[in-house]
Structure 1
Amino acid sequence: MKLFRYFLTISFTLFLTVNCSKDTATSIPTPQNESKELTIFHINDQHGKLENFSKIKYIIAKEKENTNVIVVCGGDIFSGNPVVDNHTKKGFPMIDIMNKVGFDIATIGNHEFDYGETILKDRFQQAQFNLVCANVNMNATGIPQPLEYKTISKNNIKVTFLGLVETNGKPDAIIPSTHPWRVQNLTFQKYTSVIENYAQIKETEQSDLYIALTHLGESTDKKIATNYPYFDLIIGGHSHSRTNTTVNSIPIFQAGSNLNYLGKIKLTIKNQIIESLEYQQIDLTTYPNYDAALKATIDTYNANANLDEVIGYAEAYHSRSKVGYFYTNALRNEMNVDLTFQNSGGIRADLNEGAISKREIYTIDPFNNGSVTYSMTVGEIKNFLKNSGAGFYYSGGKIEKDGNSIVIMNEANDILSDNFTLTIGLNDYIPAVYDSFFTQTPTYKPYTTAEAIISYLENNSSPINFTNYNNYFKFSN
């Protein structure tokens, strides 16, 4: 009998030991007054770049061996790599790779809207990570409505993220910096109109940390820290800054662009307050290790894109401004018009000396903008240039400022009168943004502006060199 009791006692003790060990590992939260450790990895503005994700996955996997990890993105995941932008399912490779890396959450950037509503719906449905944005309403488009904020739990740590996107895309409207015709059925609010609604979210969610995950730009993030000091951290995007600063006791971070850097925030948290913080930006261009399986997937996407066909030759390196001069000249010749314009923000890359591939042209012009022509008087063109407040590359004649006036000349340097009519060619983004100056119905060409440039190069055997051109105009008082 004693032996039986002894056996029961030992068995019960072992049962308690095993179950208490299990509960300690998975169920019993860390007491609130004990320190908690967390690493947050962040990127922003990758603009379709895929290559360094294999390195990011390797880095994250190593960190997860030692501590809790959350992986976040500050927006602008699309537009900038034709492997992603020109895929048969636009944007699919980017979401696929982010899913495989294991992102937890992303805010929405302005360039997420570049593909239009139908494709955005598909990509949001594809995403296996959370999407947050408090100042967009998808209305009846069928696009999944992102949460205003989301609390992510990693073991014993709760972190709440509030998402915000910029709305500076059009002078007379509240939309992000994207093609206005591609967000016609969506509604946006300025971040200042909504942010105060979420001042008490940390308390409501009982979170350890409250983070603004923004796509507003560094200067706006600093304003948020000053005027809306609800947050423990601000992780941003949009301005392509490498930011590591503190404003009003709130740390602000941003990790550059094009997936060149990975931000790493290493935190110790106690009583819902950051006890210690270490920050670094890992240079992915020199980091040696990578996840082999993910690299193989990325290599397959690149190989299947068929973008390396040579279509022309550049005699010299062209900076973005010089590319603008080449771009408008090619567009004018291909569209057979008198005058062409291109917005400076629409030139997204330099052009290297040597062979020119389709990949390079689609990288320079990634937005799939349509090509349109208008018949406008010289006076109407002057009104547009003077009152839009924007600067443009152009080709066809000469445009100069004369006091408070604008002078437009033809290629023979003859001054054109205000009632003289010209045919102008441009991408359809420009008249969509500045629609008050483009009131006619345009003539639509059956090709994008990138396709027009490619066609020009394919039919022009001479090497290009626009390094001595200076065809840029912006009216200033």
Structure 2
Amino acid sequence: MKFKNIFFALLVFTFTFCSKDSNTTIPTSENELKELTIFHINDQHGQINNFSKIKYIIDQEKKETNVIVTCSGDIFSGNPVVDNHQEKGFPMIDLMNKVGFDISVIGNHEFDYGETILKDRFTQSEFDWVCANVAMNSSGIPAPFEYKTITKNNVKVTFLGLVETNGKEDAVIPSTHPWRVQNLTFQKYTDVIDNYSNIKSVEGSDLYIALTHLGKGADSNLATKSPYFDMIIGGHSHSIINVETNNIPVFQAGSNLKYLGKIKITIKDKKIENYTYSLIDLENYTNEDSSIKSTIENYNKNANLTEVIGFAEAYHSKSAVGSFYTDALRVEMNVDATFQNTGGIRNILDQGDILINEIYSIDPFNNGSVTYTMTVGEIKDFLTKSKASLYYAGIEIEQENGTITISKNNQILDDNSTLTIGMNDYIPAVYDSFFTQTPTLKNFTTAETIINHLKNNAAPINYSTTINYFKFE
């Protein structure tokens, strides 16, 4: 009898709450309030010292709610502890694994080490990689996901990855060394994005997020023209961004691991009900995870980058460094003239002792050293048509009314004169239509060439008032 009563009660309950005439709705997983915190970084460029603080912050938040940890690319190139490790890039991936990253988009500088090393770093990663506009082809690099759905308890979030492709005027590649992506195929993000407009529905996700390495302007364009995203988390332009564009929140957290972005989200009916954003200043944050801190200290200690190799008599701005840099290349490579792209000078030089670490921070890209024999006319053609921004040494360059004059030792050179030119191998790779002959390859990277020059020359340097810069206007 007791069983029959229970059965009858359940039957009435079921009929009442399932009847079309009932005014009561049973809450479902779709319309329940869900909570999520997303932490994000971008453009850390090899900087690792603040990962111990990030680990502490993330672990505290995981005690309270669902957490996803993201990176918007450019994890390499900028710190010799990472870039010149015996396994290039290994410390960065090791620390990201230990911190607990869930996902990263590929940045343009992920390709700086070349295909073989990128394959090793992808294999090492315990987090997912996403990028919808690259094909790894037969390179052996594991293909990233075009998009990836991550589930944390009752919250389901899909991330679509996109990387910039502005590396070369006549090609669709990221801003990296063209010789290091020869076996890969890229597409402009604008050519592929509409293929993924229905992914949120296909995946049944609570949120659909673009995890991009496109830069501030492109993220704004994406938000305007692709309204199906719930959020955009970006990188590449090293910006601090916390805006809404077309009602889509767009975020970016600076660069060099100085900040950690924190997005606290409430989700209802597969939409953002509300969110709060904070940018955590890691430089002034004090709590750290002791285990991660110890790992970082070991990486820094074992890098052996504190040897004094020279002395600077004055502070050198990036422009002054460019003038010193090209002159040191000229002497060490024994050529008539040298060029260095301005974007390849990444740091200033303080007055005082010069450490190996400083040279690698100035030139982090491991570019090779090459020489060419060119006529003055060919050099003028390169300068005029490429409109490249360059530092130079060994010659004097002037322009007036659209005409370039090149002199050496105050003597104007005619267009048929020949000069030996030294430079990093990135320049002829990007401007290959002007460098068609086979170059002479040197045994050292440009950074190693500068280090050798300082070791071989005891005299202090002072280029603080020398600005050898040229861009055709």
Q: Report the Cα distance in structure 1 between the residues aligned to 2:395 and 2:80, rounded to whole angstroms.
A: 33
Q: Report the Cα distance in structure 1 between the residues aligned to 2:405 and 2:137, rounded to whole angstroms.
A: 46
Number of the residue aligned with 1:290: 288
Number of the residue aligned with 1:427: 424
Q: Deviations over 1:286-313 (max 9, x none)?
A: 1011101000001001111111100001
What secondary structure does 1:168 align onto?
A: coil
What secondary structure does 2:392 align onto?
A: strand
| One of 147, 153, 157 as aligned partner of 1:155 | 153
Q: Report the Cα distance in structure 1 between the residues aligned to 2:121 and 2:291, rounded to whole angstroms.
A: 23
- Go from structure 1 to structure 2 and tell me whether the alpha carbon gap of 1:230 and 1:419 turns closer, same or farther (over 3 Å shift): same
Number of the residue aligned with 2:378: 380
What is the deviation of 1:280? 1.1
Note if contact 1:348-1:363 (Cα within 8 Å) is conserved in structure 2. Answer: yes
2:467 matched to 1:470?
Answer: yes
What secondary structure does 1:267 align onto?
A: strand
| One of 450, 453, 465 as aligned partner of 1:453 | 450
Which letter maps to 1:398? E
Which letter maps to 2:461? I
What is the deviation of 1:329? 0.8
Note if contact 1:431-1:437 (Cα within 8 Å) is conserved in structure 2. Answer: yes
Number of the residue aligned with 1:250: 248
| Residue correspondence of structure 1 range 54-453 to structure 2 within 5 A | 54-410=52-408, 412-453=409-450
Q: Report the Cα distance in structure 2 between the residues aligned to 1:134 and 1:323, rounded to whole angstroms.
A: 38
What is the deviation of 1:397? 2.1
Q: Deviations over 1:182-205 (max 9, x none)?
A: 110011001011100000001111
Q: Deviations over 1:89-145 (max 9, x none)?
A: 110010000000000000000000001111110000000000000000000111100
Note if contact 1:53-1:97 (Cα within 8 Å) is conserved in structure 2. Answer: yes
Q: Report the Cα distance in structure 2 between the residues aligned to 1:63 and 1:350, rounded to whole angstroms.
A: 38
Note if contact 1:311-1:358 (Cα within 8 Å) is conserved in structure 2. Answer: yes
Q: Report the Cα distance in structure 2 between the residues aligned to 1:349 and 1:30, rounded to whole angstroms.
A: 55
What secondary structure does 1:436 align onto?
A: helix
Number of the residue aligned with 2:9: none
Q: Report the Cα distance in structure 1 between the residues aligned to 2:149 and 2:243, rounded to whole angstroms.
A: 25
Note if contact 1:108-1:131 (Cα within 8 Å) is conserved in structure 2. Answer: yes
Number of the residue aligned with 2:21: none
Number of the residue aligned with 2:22: none
Q: Deviations over 1:172-224 (max 9, x none)?
A: 11111111111100110010111000000011111111000000000000000
Q: Report the Cα distance in structure 2 between the residues aligned to 1:126 and 1:339, rounded to whole angstroms.
A: 42
Q: Report the Cα distance in structure 2 between the residues aligned to 1:246 and 1:365, rounded to whole angstroms.
A: 36
Identity level (%):
71
Note if contact 1:30-1:156 (Cα within 8 Å) is conserved in structure 2. Answer: no
Q: Report the Cα distance in structure 1 between the residues aligned to 2:265 and 2:277, rounded to whole angstroms.
A: 9
Q: Report the Cα distance in structure 1 between the residues aligned to 2:279 and 2:413, rounded to whole angstroms.
A: 54
What is the deviation of 1:30? 6.6
What is the deviation of 1:409? 1.0
What is the deviation of 1:406? 0.7
What is the deviation of 1:319? 1.6
Q: Report the Cα distance in structure 1 between the residues aligned to 2:362 and 2:285, rounded to whole angstroms.
A: 27
Q: Deviations over 1:355-404 (max 9, x none)?
A: 11111111111111110000001110000011112110001121111111
Note if contact 1:372-1:444 (Cα within 8 Å) is conserved in structure 2. Answer: yes
What secondary structure does 2:432 align onto?
A: coil
Q: Deviations over 1:324-371 (max 9, x none)?
A: 111101111110111100001111111111111111111111111110
TM-score normalised by length of structure 2? 0.94
Q: Report the Cα distance in structure 2 between the residues aligned to 1:227 and 1:405, rounded to whole angstroms.
A: 43
What is the deviation of 1:465? 1.2
Note if contact 1:107-1:165 (Cα within 8 Å) is conserved in structure 2. Answer: yes
Note if contact 1:240-1:257 (Cα within 8 Å) is conserved in structure 2. Answer: yes
Unaligned runs of 5+ in 1: 6-28
Q: Deviations over 1:14-38 (max 9, x none)?
A: xxxxxxxxxxxxxxx9722121111
RMSD: 1.2
What is the deviation of 1:250? 0.7
What secondary structure does 2:167 align onto?
A: coil
Q: Report the Cα distance in structure 2 between the residues aligned to 1:240 and 1:284, rounded to whole angstroms.
A: 16
TM-score normalised by length of structure 1? 0.93
What secondary structure does 2:283 align onto?
A: coil
Number of the residue aligned with 1:19: none
Unaligned runs of 5+ in 2: 3-26
